[in-house]
Amino acid sequence: MILARAFVIAVLWCVLPFTAGAAPPLDLRGLFNETSRQHWPKQEVPTGTGFFVNAAGDLITAAHVIAGCGRIEVTIPAGAGTRKGRAVLMGLDARIDAALLSVPSLRPTPFFRMAMGSPPEGSHLMVPIWSVRDRKFQVTKARLAPAADHPGSDPLLQLDADLNPGASGAAVLEADGTVTGYVVGRLARNKDIALAVPEIYARHFLEYMGVRPAVRHNGGEAEAVPGSGWAKIECR
């Protein structure tokens, strides 16, 4: 029932125009070359990472993380411990591998701001994930690899990073802690290269869903990277 409702929402996004004054729709044709993208091995309990986009408990994760879920459980770091809540699936779009979840019981939630653009190639980035391998929240360093190094995955971001199962849906952060993309898998022919969808696709999806994400402040001052803002996503 949950996925049926989300499917209807995704179909409507495909066929309905954006509202007046909204940004024009993106060309989503060919976003994924499924011969070049690979997911991490499935776990007994499908698990991924998500990130909050505002204080209202709205978060983004990869759609494939919650595919077939009967119940979606969200865990966030809180001091020395964690907090848990049950998520409601608000909508998804398989074309950009994105799902919008809401966790009202965790409000107000810490969140990340959208970067409103992509950093230059070679930039040093951070990916806060729930690591299935290490069974903990951790921040992994990454570098934005030149697209020419591994052709065939445009317009996805290529990340030189040691990511592991649980990383799907994680935010890719610039040095100031703003989101420049979200992880959707890894390169099939080079498993050391993770793939991420640029944040503009998430912003357009959220806009259509009527969700207003926090965005980078104008003014040039760097923002501190929050101690939380990301979440472990479990599909039950």
Instruction: Give the residue carrying structure tokens 């993208």.
Output: 37
Q: Could you tell me the pLDDT band of residue 29, with boundaries at 50, 70 and 90? A: low
Give the pLDDT score at 7.
Answer: 43
Q: Which residue blocks in 16-62 are alpha helix, DSSP H?
A: none
Which run of H or of E encompasses 235? Answer: strand 230-235
Mean pLDDT to the nearest integer, 34-42: 74
Higher pLDDT, 87 or 187: 87
44-77: per-residue pLDDT in tens?
889 999 999 999 999 999 999 999 899 999 999 9
pTM, full prediction: 0.85
Q: Cα–chain-centroid distance for residue 176?
A: 17
Question: For the residues of 124-192, what is the DSSP string, one character each?
Answer: EEEEEEEETTTTEEEEEEEEE--GGGSTT-TTSEEEEE---TT-TT-EEE-TTS-EEEEEEEEETTEEE
**Mean pLDDT rounded to a whole number for the chain:** 83
User: Cβ(31)–Cβ(184) under 8 Å?
Assistant: no
User: What does the angle CA 13 – CA 19 – CA 24 come to, to the nearest 5 degrees?
Assistant: 75
140-169: per-residue pLDDT in tens?
999 999 876 666 556 889 999 999 899 999
Integer Cα distance of 236 and 44 in angstroms: 10
Higher pLDDT, 9 or 149: 149
Higher pLDDT, 54 or 39: 54
Instruction: Go through 195-213 and write b for each residue having 16 or more CB atoms within 10 A of its CB, e for each that does not.
Output: bbbbbbbbbbbbbbbebeb
User: Cβ(51)–Cβ(171) under 8 Å?
Assistant: yes
Whether 12 shows a pLDDT value over 50: the answer reads no
Domains of the chain (ranges plus CATH)? 124-200 (2.40.10.10)
Q: Could you tell me the pLDDT band of residue 130, with boundaries at 50, 70 and 90? A: very high
Q: How far is CA 8 from CA 35, 203, 211, in A?
A: 27, 20, 18
How would you classify the pairing of strands 47-52 and 230-235? Answer: antiparallel
Q: Could you tell me the pLDDT band of residue 18, with boundaries at 50, 70 and 90? A: very low
Q: Could you tell me the pLDDT band of residue 191, with boundaries at 50, 70 and 90? A: confident
| Amino acid found at 13 | W
Give the pLDDT score at 32.
Answer: 67
Whether 20 shows a pLDDT value over 70: the answer reads no
